[in-house]
Chain A
Amino acid sequence: MQTSVEDPRVLEFDVRTDEMLVNMGPQHPSTHGVLRLVLRTDGEVVSEVTPHIGYLHRCAEKIGENLAVRQWIPYTDRMDYLAAMNMNLGWSLAVEKLHGYAPPERGRHLRVIIAELGRIASHLVGMGAYGLDLGSFSPFLYAFREREKILDLFEQACGARLTYSYLTPGGATADLPAGWTTRCLKMLDEFEPILPEYHTLLTSNAIFVKRTCKVGVLTADRAISYGVSGPVLRGSGVDFDLRRDGEPCYTQMYAGYDFQVIVERAGSYPATTGAPPPPPEAVLGDSWHRFYVRMLEVVQSISLVRQAIALYEAEEGLDHGQPFKLGAKLPVGETYLETEAPRGQMGFYLVSLGQPNPWRARARSSSFCNLSVIGEIGRGCLIADIPAIVGSLDIVMGEIDR
């Protein structure tokens, strides 16, 4: 018997649904914080995604106007709380750019060690939580096991495990304690050989590949138009990394270091030991590529930390940079500086009229721009793909809402 969807006698076809609005969040576990997505759905297909943000808004920029520049450092911790070290660094460099100050060499290498360890810790959460979003619990435990060791190192350096306030305008609050670099190298030596396990768990896992390939494809020109940055931008094939392409006062931090920007060039990524090649199903700019870029960046950062420790230890003298005086007046002027945080380009804009407090302290959030593409790449996919897309953007709401 020939049947059609219009035939009312066929019960199976009579389950077509009306358009429905589905609220995802703000307490949904896969939205990485208090993000609310309103999905306009027709059955399983999402025709429109509307993000609602601001649940964590505390107007950090207003607070920044009422504090001396060094007092704002703890507030930058609480923006991207998974990469607080990199937030400290971004604001410190912006303040130093205003002063025309460059930290001593030992302080420069110390910052590279800390910033790249922060990147590894942040990408580990991104990777573990992404597995969790897709229903795989084990990678999360593996990732947190390793992250814990990095947090232990951070605790030994500054006393805090999440909100460090360690890097500060002028340098760092303290030098690394005795024996720290040895423990750090030991941690890296243990960590690097188990990275292939992570690739087995997720990167080349058949279910993971099916859930992420061709899901949420973001083309390079749309990525640029939406101002996305970091692994999301490079996952779309745009060869841009501020550590190489940024302003001189940021790139000089990485002067003399040997590293490559992790991006697909002519169909292949920079060779990385232990990483499986992209599966044939993956297309550039999909969720899988965003995830893959993060995984390769972890290997890149391990190498950078090793180089930095060698340079740090070779440096003679103990001067790692003295923090600026707390209530000192700022020079008149204004600066804007973007740094490559784990989630993308974190920009700080500082306008000073010569008081100790900035007249305007602005934080340009990378997650804010990265999330704004969800309306475009989430359209037309299935409801179950939405967590896969949000997870691949690796957002932190504390940074979006500021």
Chain B
Amino acid sequence: MQHDPAISEQLRERFPEAVVSASPGPIDPWIEIAPERLAEVAAWLKNDPAQDYDYLNGLCVIDYFTADKKLAEAVGAARLVVVYHLSNLSRKRQLTLKVTLPRWANAASETPPTLPSLAALWATAEWHECEAYDLSGVEFTNHPHLRRILCPEDWVGHPLRKDYQMPLEYHGIRGR
């Protein structure tokens, strides 16, 4: 498994305004994609015969938010980062895509931010997107059945958010 050194240039050439930034990374390189262009970039990476990223290893969400002043500098602006790990099994290539989202689409009503679902490209995205929605609170549009997959259906809140508070009780069970 190797990262393709040319991929960020190819993406910039093909989708000039979609690539927000590309990091060679101290360890794993990654490419940041604008959220509104994610669907077409992903479709190209999957379907273009020269790219053929046929395997989605997984996706996960990182919440950058802290109330601790000592950490504020390291954490930076409050945001969510959705990370996609893709592979090409036959050519042994791997690729990391990142998409930055606001923590809430509407902070007052705690409306989750949205991203297009990639379940039509990689079937495995269906469950991973449910997990990201359940634990981190990112909504995926055009998803076949977005639901809480690990927590109970009536659970409140998204546990992997940094400001998440465990409920005091759940159906008569003491929470904390």
Contact of A98 with B27 at beta-carbon distance under 8 Å, contacts A353-B71, A354-B74 already known: yes
B50: Cβ under 8 A from any A Cβ: no
Interface status of B149 (Cβ within 8 A of chain A): yes
| A227 near B135: Cβ-Cβ < 8 Å | no
Chain A residues positioned under 8 Å from B159 (CB to CB): 59, 62
**Docked CA distance A275–B45 (Å):** 41
| Cα distance, A240 to B58, chains bound together (Å) | 17
A-B pairs with CB below 8 Å: how many? Answer: 99
User: Would you call A225 and B123 a contact (CB within 8 A)?
Assistant: yes
A144 in contact (CB, < 8 A) = no
Output the least CB separation between B1 and chain A (Å): 5
- Are A364 and B58 also in contact (CB < 8 A) when A225-B123, A227-B124, A354-B74 are? yes
Q: Would you call B124 and A335 a contact (CB within 8 A)?
A: no
Beta-carbon contact of A54 and B60 below 8 Å: no
B160 at the interface (CB under 8 A from A): yes
What 0/1 readout, one digit per residue, does chain A (223-244) give for beta carbons within 8 Å of chain B? 0111100000000001010100
- Chain B interface size, as a band, is 35 or more
Whether A382 sits at the interface, judged by CB under 8 Å, is no
Q: Does A333 contact B (CB under 8 A)?
A: yes
Q: Which residues of B contact A402 (CB under 8 A)?
A: 150
Smallest Cβ distance from A253 to chain B, in angstroms? 14
Verify B151–A57 contact, CB threshold 8 A: yes
Q: Is the CB of A347 within 8 A of B57?
A: yes
Is residue B79 within 8 Å, beta carbon to beta carbon, of the partner chain? no
Q: Does A369 contact B (CB under 8 A)?
A: yes
Please indicate the chain A residues that have their CB under 8 angstroms from the CB of B150 in the complex: 53-54, 57, 59, 401-402
Are B123 and A372 touching (Cβ within 8 A)? yes
Of chain B, the residue at the smallest CB distance from A365 is: B58
Interface centre among B2, B92, B96, B127 (most CB of A within 10 A): B127
Is A104 in the interface zone, CB < 8 Å from B?
no
Q: A224-B54, A227-B122, A353-B71 are in contact. Are A336 and B85 (CB under 8 A)?
A: yes
Partner of B75, one of A100, A226, A353: A353
Residue in A53, A62, A372 whose beta carbon sits within 8 Å of that of B126 in the complex: A372
Residues of A within 8 A of B41 (CB): none
In this assembly, does A190 line the interface, its C-beta being within 8 Å of a C-beta of chain B?
no
Q: Which residues of A contact B127 (CB under 8 A)?
A: 368-369, 372
- Most chain B CB within 10 A, of A222, A332, A345, A360, is at A360
B57 touches A225 (CB 8 A): no
A246 contacts B1, C-beta separation under 8 Å: yes
B40 on the A face (CB < 8 A):
no
User: Could you say which residues of chain A place their CB within 8 Å of the CB of B64?
Assistant: 359
Question: Once the chains bind, are A227 and B56 in contact (CB under 8 Å)?
Answer: yes
Q: Which residues of B (77-121) have their CB < 8 Å from a CB of A?
A: 83, 85, 89, 92, 94, 96
* Pairs across A and B, CB under 8 Å, 7 listed: A54-B150, A59-B135, A227-B123, A247-B94, A333-B26, A347-B57, A369-B124
Q: Which 9 A-B pairs have the closest CB atoms?
A: A227-B124, A54-B150, A364-B58, A353-B74, A57-B150, A225-B123, A362-B60, A372-B127, A360-B62
